[in-house]
Chains A and B, each alone.
Chain A
Amino acid sequence: MVLDQALLAEIWPLFVRASVTTVWISVLSMAIGLALGLLTAVARLSPWRPLRLVARGYVELIRGTPLLVQVYFLYAAAPYYHLTLPPVVSGVTSLSLYVGAYTSEIFRAGITAVHKGQIEAARSLGMSYWQTLRRVTVPIMAALVTPALTNEFTGVLKWSSILSVITVPELTYRAYQVIAESYAPFEALILSGLMYWALTDVVAWGGRVLERRVTRHLR
């Protein structure tokens, strides 16, 4: 197996554009997923039982089924509700719902890990509710959830490859196109594989930098 340099030069710009799509889809899905995850985590700790049940049902359903099935389902079922979603919108929605369920578990662990005593101590020192939240609760939580959320973000970059099945023109979709049209699997997979590897390593590195910042108070 020898890499065809001419072909690589030809597909390189296409793959760079596709990886930009992969990145923005991942960033957007991660952002929506984080908001959804935080809301779901709070809902799961709510004193109102129906809300807890709905939140739990959502998390269990998403975590118990493959993302591919969820992607297919939303894409195929939406027209039945007179919603014709473009592939990108449908894909980002599926990916966000997926991320939301997983991050809600991370947030839940983070929230329950903050001891009541720490909050009470801060209040009894004269901090207001907001001061306690900003100086005690959030820093403790951030230190706990940052590594898991970084891991989740590298996951999103990889999971976004599944959106290729509904023709979202991201990196894996372009790689498959080159395989199918030029029958050049070696070049297509090496190039796209290295791009994913670089992207996930950059995110993992950024996560470690962030982790050092949010754990400053522990050192």
Chain B
Amino acid sequence: MAGFADVLPGFDPGVVVESLPVLVRGALVTLQISALGILLAGVLAVPVAFARLSASRAVRALAFLYVDAVRGTPLLIQLYAIFYLPPLVGIDLTPLQSAVLALGLNGGAYTAEILRGGIVALPKGQVESARSLGMTQWQAVRRIVLPQVVGNVLPALTNEAASLLKGSSLISVLAIIELTRAGHQLVGRLLRPLEIYFAVALLYLLVNAAIFWASHALERRLVAHR
């Protein structure tokens, strides 16, 4: 591997190989927490997006407050808040629960804004025709609005999922041994930051690529009905 030695003096590919098992285990934790976080974000985002468009002023204001507070503060502060504040009122969450909750609440706000944009952009006639065909409001939303909106905003949703994956690295501060913390610990033990962070970056790039690949696969399925 002369190439590495030229660019990065002292780079030992053996260290990368040696640290891979530990890092892959960390990557699986990252994957699990990110997937749960993305799921929670999606579940939260749909009602919040509709709440932002609600006829009731109080509902609109409440939804706006949630979205604006999340988007106005760093994820790291939100993580600390979810980790340190619930115990003060007697709620005990495991670090894993805190992590998923924080990522879900964070992603939920951003995803709600993406969905809201998609809903507003959808021609009114779509809902009106569905209603005049005898669908209930809920049926129209589930069968007509959401499938089209999700299809239209899929690139933005994919970016959000990728950003949530990268954001999950911050939960390393909650003492969860995911990919970033696994790497950080190995660096402390082996004192080989170059090789280990190289491997960590490689694994993140891999998972990131997988998200975009899955999104393309989903896009092909979603546009099938057109």
In contact, B166 and A65 (Cβ under 8 angstroms): yes
Interface 1/0s, chain B 65-100, versus A by CB < 8 A? 000110111111100110011001100000000000
User: B156: CB under 8 A from chain A?
Assistant: no
Of A1, A76, A164, A179, the most chain B CB neighbours within 10 A belong to: A76
Q: In the complex, what residues of A have CB within 8 A of residue B61's CB?
A: none
Which secondary structure characterizes the binding site on chain A?
helix
In contact, B72 and A196 (Cβ under 8 angstroms): yes
Interface residues of B in 158-211 (CB under 8 A from A): 166-170, 172-173, 180, 183-184, 187, 193-194, 197, 200-201, 204-205, 208-209
In contact, B197 and A161 (Cβ under 8 angstroms): no
Could you say which of B80, B193, B194 contacts A176, with CB atoms under 8 Å apart? B80
User: A58: CB under 8 A from chain B?
Assistant: no
In contact, B84 and A185 (Cβ under 8 angstroms): yes
The minimal Cβ–Cβ distance linking B103 to chain A, given in whole angstroms, is 13
In contact, B169 and A66 (Cβ under 8 angstroms): yes
In contact, A161 and B167 (Cβ under 8 angstroms): no
Could you say which of A72, A165, A197 contacts B197, with CB atoms under 8 Å apart? A72
With contacts A73-B193, A161-B77, A175-B80 known, is A185 near B88, CB below 8 A? yes
Alpha-carbon distance A94/B71, docked complex (angstroms)? 22
User: A186: CB under 8 A from chain B?
Assistant: yes
Alpha-carbon distance A68/B194, docked complex (angstroms)? 15
Interface 1/0s, chain A 180-208, versus B by CB < 8 A? 00000110010011001100110000000
Interface band, chain B: 35 or more
User: A8: CB under 8 A from chain B?
Assistant: no
User: B155: CB under 8 A from chain A?
Assistant: no
User: A150: CB under 8 A from chain B?
Assistant: no
Could you say which of B88, B167, B173, B187 contacts A165, with CB atoms under 8 Å apart? B173
In contact, A64 and B204 (Cβ under 8 angstroms): yes
A residues within 8 Å of B by Cβ?
A: 1, 60-61, 64-69, 72-73, 76-77, 80-81, 154, 157-162, 164-165, 172, 175-176, 179, 185-186, 189, 192-193, 196-197, 200-201
B residues within 8 Å of A by Cβ?
A: 9-10, 68-69, 71-77, 80-81, 84-85, 88-89, 166-170, 172-173, 180, 183-184, 187, 193-194, 197, 200-201, 204-205, 208-209
